[in-house]
Amino acid sequence: MKKEDRWRLAVKAYLACVHWADEQIGRVLNALDESPHADNTIIVLYADHGYHLGEKQRWSKFSLWERTTRVPFIVSIPGGVTGRSTKPVELLSIYPTLIDLCGLAPNKRIEGVSIAPLLKDPNANWAHVAISTLGRNNHSIRDERWRYIRYADGSEELYDHETDPNEWSNLMAADRSPLQAEVVARLKAHLPKTNLPQRKE
């Protein structure tokens, strides 16, 4: 792939797709701004999960690492604050957030938590984690600083995003500090208790 310069061309094509999508979103937002609904419309923008473009020796969108589990997630409300939050959230939060913002009765049967507090203050206290699952019994737990991964075979990974944002150093492979042991225990407590078989299409 490197010899034929396919790597550079593949990255270029991927970035071109992102640029094209950005342009279309801009067109929609411009039309909304020019409409009578600009002041009473909630906008939620999110996307499919990310893609490894050679990182960690992978060309794939299926992993439990940051590159593929992180997605664009933007919420704009009329008169809302402008800001960016580093708190971990899930796409499961879209429905409860919209219910919250629209003043509707909450649905206790759904999963996910409203991120309305973060829309008022991006730095608000946030005790929630983001959980990603890939196949049965393979889970990633992400808080604001750490990512813990546990696979179905029992193997584990731990990454400190404060010092290792690209997740190169698996801290589970080394002697763990008391802090890391506490982090693992805390994040492991969020692992799903029920793991259904993967659905076959």
What is the structure's pLDDT at 147?
A: 97
- Claim to verify: residue 76 and residue 23 sit in the same structural domain: no
For residue 71, what are the domain limits?
42-188
- Claim to verify: residue 9 and residue 84 sit in the same structural domain: no
Q: Would 178 be classed as within a structural domain?
A: yes
Give residues with Cβ within 8 angstroms of 75, minimum separation 6: 42, 43, 44, 45, 97, 115, 119
- Which pTM was predicted? 0.87
What is the structure's pLDDT at 201?
A: 65
pLDDT, tens only, 20-75: 999 999 999 999 999 999 999 999 999 887 788 888 887 888 899 998 999 999 99
Share of the chain above pLDDT 90, in %: 67
pLDDT, tens only, 93-109: 999 999 999 999 988 88
pLDDT tops 80 at residue 140: yes
- Claim to verify: residue 97 and residue 178 sit in the same structural domain: yes
Q: Would 196 be classed as within a structural domain?
A: no
- Claim to verify: residue 106 and residue 59 sit in the same structural domain: yes
- Claim to verify: residue 5 and residue 64 sit in the same structural domain: no
* Domains contained in the chain, number: 2
Work out the pLDDT band at 1, boundaries 50, 70, 90.
Answer: low
Q: Would 82 be classed as within a structural domain?
A: yes
The CATH number given to whatever domain includes residue 99 is: 3.30.1120.10
What is the structure's pLDDT at 51?
A: 81
- Claim to verify: residue 97 and residue 13 sit in the same structural domain: no
Q: Please state, in angstroms and rounded to a whole number, the distance separating the CA atoms of residues 67 and 142.
A: 13
* Residue 15, phi then psi, degrees to nearest 5: -65, -30
Q: Where are the alpha helices (DSSP H) in 62-193?
A: 66-69, 94-101, 116-120, 178-188
Q: Would 125 be classed as within a structural domain?
A: yes
Work out the pLDDT band at 7, boundaries 50, 70, 90.
Answer: confident
- Claim to verify: residue 32 and residue 106 sit in the same structural domain: no
Residue 85, helix vs strand vs coil: coil
- Claim to verify: residue 67 and residue 4 sit in the same structural domain: no
Q: Would 194 be classed as within a structural domain?
A: no
Q: Would 76 be classed as within a structural domain?
A: yes
- Claim to verify: residue 132 and residue 160 sit in the same structural domain: yes
Q: Please state, in angstroms and rounded to a whole number, the distance separating the CA atoms of residues 130 and 56.
A: 22
What is the structure's pLDDT at 3?
A: 65
- Claim to verify: residue 59 and residue 135 sit in the same structural domain: yes
Q: Would 201 be classed as within a structural domain?
A: no
- Claim to verify: residue 48 and residue 15 sit in the same structural domain: no
- Claim to verify: residue 31 and residue 116 sit in the same structural domain: no
Q: Would 123 be classed as within a structural domain?
A: yes
What is the structure's pLDDT at 101?
A: 94
